Amino acid sequence: MSWKRDDEFDENQIKGIDLSIKAISKKYPFVKGWKFIDNYQQWKAHLYIDIIVDWIEVAKFYGKEIKPYWLEEFKNGGKADSSLIDSYMFVNPSHTEEGYQEFFENSFKETKKINTLLNSVYSSLPSEFQITMKFMSSFGGEDVRTVELYIERFINY
């Protein structure tokens, strides 16, 4: 018994992710694209991707201030990534300051909202635009399910 996924994605399956990213960028205009994480083949039930964002637009969208160091880095083409959308690049409470727990929980919730919207759009696409996995039972049965997309990191544009 095991899950199997064909990692030789066709043009429509890639287009399905492209369409989903384009759709969420209507609500989150800082989203600029996506890419597979380096070892995406390792997981079969989930497809981990990186979301490409413009961190300056992220800051404007959420009313955040970018730390001066990172602002200079971005102006000079520097790279940064974060697993949460409200990241260490912004002026936020540090882990030793009051308000940190609330900041962290809100960032986690907002990240989850983006991921949920991504999967909502993706799962509503016609099946030819979705990547699927198959569960092969030792009794000969087969179950086919749409793969869920998971945001691994937000990386800069």
pLDDT in tens, 62-108: 999 999 999 888 888 888 899 999 888 899 888 888 888 888 899 99
Please classify residue 81 by burial: count the beta carbons closer than 10 Å to its beta carbon, then call 0-12 exposed, 13-18 middle and 19+ buried: middle
Quote the CA–CA distance of 27 and 139 in Å, as a whole number.
45
Question: Positive or negative, the Cα torsion across 155, 87, 109, 22?
Answer: negative
Q: How many CB atoms lie within 10 A of CB 82?
A: 19
- pLDDT digit of tens for each residue in the chain (157 aa)? 567 888 889 999 999 999 999 999 999 999 999 999 999 988 877 899 999 999 999 999 999 999 999 988 888 888 889 999 988 889 988 888 888 888 889 999 999 999 999 999 999 999 999 999 888 767 767 788 899 999 999 999 8
Query: Distances in Å between the alpha carbon of 132 and those of 18, 103, 116, 148?
Result: 16, 36, 18, 9
SS3 category, 99: coil
Query: Distances in Å between the alpha carbon of 155 and those of 13, 31, 42, 53, 89?
Result: 22, 10, 21, 6, 12
